[in-house]
C-alpha cells in the first residue's frame, strides 16, 4: 500500500503538470487573442476617426452646395423681374405705336375732308409725317434694342438653367459617390 500512495501522488502531479501546461497554453492563446482584439479595436477606432473626418469634410462641401442654388435662384428671379419690366416697356411702346398709327389715320382722314385748309394741312401733315418717321425710326431702333436685350436675357436664362441643371446633376453624382463610400 505504501508503493501505491507515492504512485498515486506522482500520477496526480503528472496530471497537475499537464493541467498547468494546458492552462499556460490557454492563457497564452487568450493573451494573443486579447492582443489581436486590441489591434482590431485600434483599427476600428482609426477607421471611425477617418469616417468622422470625412463626414466633416462632406458637411462643409454640402454647405457650399446649399448656398449656391439659392444664389442662382436669386439671379434667376432678378432676370425674371428684368424680363417683366422689359415686357411692360415693350407693351407700352406698342401701345404708343398703336396710338401714333391711329393718330396718323385720323390725320389722313381729315386731310381728305378739309379741302379748304389743304395747303396748311399739307405742310402740317408733312411735318407730322417727318416726326412720325423719326419716331418710327426711334421706335424701330428701340424695338431692335429691346429684342436684342430680350434675346440676350433669354440666352443668359438658358445658360443659368443649364448651370443649375449641371449643379443638380453634379450634386447628385457627388452624393452618389459619398453614399458609395
103-124 pLDDT, tens digit per residue, is 888 876 776 676 666 676 577 7
CB neighbour class for 9 (10 Å; exposed up to 12, middle 13-18, buried from 19)? exposed
Q: Kindly report the pTM of this predicted structure.
A: 0.30
Q: How confident is the model at residue 169 (pLDDT cuts 50, 70, 90)?
A: very high
CB-hemisphere CA count at 13 Å for 108?
Answer: 8
Question: How many CB atoms within 10 Å of residue 45?
Answer: 10
**pLDDT tens digit sequence for 34-84:** 888 888 889 888 888 988 888 888 887 777 666 667 777 888 888 888 888
**pLDDT tens digit sequence for 128-163:** 888 889 988 988 898 898 889 889 989 999 999 998
Cell for 24?
499556460
More confident position, 120 or 9: 9
- CA angle, residues 86, 92, 94, in degrees to nearest 5: 100
More confident position, 124 or 31: 31
Residue 71 confidence (pLDDT): 77
Distance set, CA 121 to CA 108, 113, 126, 127, 163 (Å): 10, 11, 8, 10, 60
Amino acid at each position: 500500500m505504501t508503493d501505491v500512495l507515492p504512485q498515486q501522488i506522482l500520477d496526480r502531479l503528472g496530471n497537475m503538470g499537464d493541467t498547468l501546461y494546458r492552462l499556460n497554453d490557454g492563457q497564452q492563446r487568450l493573451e494573443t487573442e486579447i492582443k489581436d482584439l486590441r489591434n482590431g479595436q485600434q483599427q476600428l477606432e482609426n477607421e471611425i476617426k477617418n469616417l468622422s473626418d470625412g463626414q466633416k469634410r462632406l458637411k462643409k462641401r454640402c454647405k457650399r452646395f446649399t448656398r449656391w442654388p439659392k444664389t442662382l435662384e436669386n439671379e434667376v428671379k432678378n432676370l425674371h423681374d428684368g424680363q417683366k419690366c422689359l415686357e411692360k416697356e415693350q407693351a407700352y411702346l406698342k401701345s404708343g405705336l398703336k396710338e401714333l398709327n391711329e393718330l396718323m389715320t385720323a390725320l389722313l382722314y381729315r386731310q381728305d375732308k378739309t379741302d379748304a385748309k389743304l395747303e396748311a394741312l399739307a405742310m402740317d401733315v408733312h411735318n407730322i409725317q417727318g416726326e412720325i418717321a423719326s419716331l418710327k425710326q426711334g421706335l424701330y431702333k428701340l424695338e431692335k434694342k429691346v429684342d436684342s436685350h430680350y434675346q440676350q436675357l433669354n440666352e443668359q436664362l438658358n445658360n443659368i438653367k443649364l448651370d443649375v441643371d449641371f449643379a443638380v446633376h453634379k450634386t447628385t453624382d457627388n452624393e452618389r459617390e459619398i453614399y458609395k463610400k
